[in-house]
Structure 1
Amino acid sequence: MAKAKFDRTKPHVNVGTIGHIDHGKTTLTSAITKVLAAAYGGNNKPVEFDQIDNAPEEKARGITIATSHQEYETPNRHYAHVDCPGHADYIKNMITGAAQMDAAILVVAATDGPMPQTKEHVLLARQVNVPYIIVFLNKVDMLDPADRDELVELVEMEIRDLLNKYEFPGDTIPIIRGSALKAMQCGCGKKECEACGPILKLAETLDTYVPEPKRDRDKPFLMPIEDVFSITGRGTVVTGRIERGVVRTGDEVEIVGFGETKKTVVTGVEMFRKILDEGIAGDNVGCLLRGTGKDEVERGQVLAKPGSITPHKKFEAEVYVLSKEEGGRHTP
């Protein structure tokens, strides 16, 4: 089947879910795709929970490992959504996901409040300069109705304190209360629906609270490689978020990083299984590379305009050691 062409008619924004394991990040991701598909139609396609956690190891363990990319749109914008793993072992993947975000949706279960990984993810969002955070307070339906309001207010205060601690504007950040599971199960997409309403409110908040990102279109093309795939009969595809510049089919590029710099040609650019005329800064794309074996390129290298960048062997780094409370080591 021929692939559809990606129609760039709306501003493109990268968002993602972060937060503690089992607080509902993947459920919320699925709920957003279902509710927006019902509410707005268009290119929105409902995605089941188990299609997001799609690696065999993830299904077996019931947790998200690598970062998973979904797409959805509101009447105003097109969103690429990264579902980040919440499990402590996978912090590296969380960083590759977070570094791509224009805004993060912090998911906190009202039943638990902020947990060690909630703090760790907020800290990471600060370290990799995620500019905006919106909070989705999940599982509100599981609180006892008798003292629900009081409990929710306490949890919200805790979240705002935590955000302030890591230099986000905790006092003004939007917090949306809801149940991702109820919304995923209902999926009617009606604003007045108790389950789906909060999801539509979240989408509206993304549209209004997060400004349209400024993109570096005019600089030389650069894309850090997040993943490498081999497609039978077509060759090697590298994926990542374009940091700056533009890439078109037929462009000569360099693979820079470990070992020798290699030259290759981009023979196709795709986003969400649709063909792009050009990939521009901010897009999450896959680039098909001519005559490059899967073993000749790896995550951590970059794809760049020839001669525009050189690998460095020395760099200055800022090291932050997690405290015991933040999920770090208990002993020095």
Structure 2
Amino acid sequence: GFAGNTIPIVAGSALLALRALEEDTKANGKITITRGDNPWVDKIYTLMDKVDEFIPTPERDTDKSFLMAIEDVFSITGRGTVATGRVERGSVKVGETIELVGLGNTRTTTVTGLEMFQKTLDESVAGDNVGVLLRGVQKTDIERGMVIAKPGTITPHTKFESQVYVLKKEEGGRHTPFFCGYQPQFYVRTT
């Protein structure tokens, strides 16, 4: 599966590029190196050009209603409860009303804050890994496996019908048989 004849290889040294930038900063008080000034820095520019050229920008599903699976929950002293996860589709803004769906009754609340990589946001869109600060929600009220959604767009289900293929031992699957009364666990929208 490796297309060695078409994938570009860029030889360079990040260490030597970094040293050149550090020396430039010491000499000038800031970075003044631009393309063409240093061969090692130029290699980094070339590498990033090739990354931009050969790796497509992922499509973000922003046209649909907001949906985010909850991966973890934190309680922040003085602020409240934060649910984290990756926004699967749509967008959400601070001040918007959302629903907490799954594992019990659906609950409506308001987004009072959004944070991604220690930066406060006004809006989060599909593809973002974000922390959502929720008004009036206790940490014990929500857990991994629930979802946050635009009100009225999804409904929870406690039963479903499916076909399941169980991997054989040779395929990296089960080594023992299923016994009567076996209750499998399914994890959906979790990482």
TM-score (norm 1): 0.40
Identity %: 49
Secondary structure of 2:89's counterpart equals coil
Q: 2:87 aligns with which of 231, 238, 242?
A: 242
Q: 1:253, 1:265 within 8 Å by CA — same for their partners in 2?
A: yes
Which residues in structure 2 correspond to 1:46-125 (within 5 Å)?
A: none
Residues 57-206 of structure 1 aligned to structure 2 (within 5 Å): 164=1, 170-171=2-3, 174=7, 183=14, 187-188=18-19, 192-193=39-40, 203-206=48-51
Q: Deviations over 1:190-248 (max 9, x none)?
A: 7744xx88876654443222222222222111111122111110001111111111101
The aligned residue for residue 59 of structure 1 is none
Q: Deviations over 1:281-302 (max 9, x none)?
A: 1222111001111111111211
Equivalence for 2:146: 301
Query: Distance between the aligned counterparts of 1:315 and 1:289, measured in 2?
Result: 33
Q: State the TM-score, normalizing by the size of structure 2.
A: 0.66
Equivalent residues of 2:10, 2:46 under 8 A apart: no
Match of 1:314 among 150, 160, 169: 160
Q: Counterpart in 2 of 1:290?
A: 135
Select the structure that is richer in helix. 1
Q: Which of 1 and 2 has greater Rg? A: 2
Shift of 1:184: 7.2
Cα 1:323–1:296 shift into 2, 3 Å: same
Contact 2:169 2:175 in 1 (8 A): no
CA distance in 2, matches of 1:303, 1:297: 10
The 1:238/1:330 distance shift into structure 2, 3 A limit, reads closer
Residues 263 and 208 of structure 1: CA distance in aligned 2, closer, same or farther (over 3 Å): same
* Structure with the larger RCO, 1 or 2 (CA within 8 Å, 6+ apart): 2
Which deviations, in whole Å up to 9, do the C-alpha atoms of 1:252-286 show, x marking residues without a partner? 11111212211111001122111212111122211
Show the 5 A alignment for 1:265-284.
265-284=110-129
Root mean square deviation, CA, Å: 3.4
Identify which of 49, 62, 73 aligns with 1:228: 73
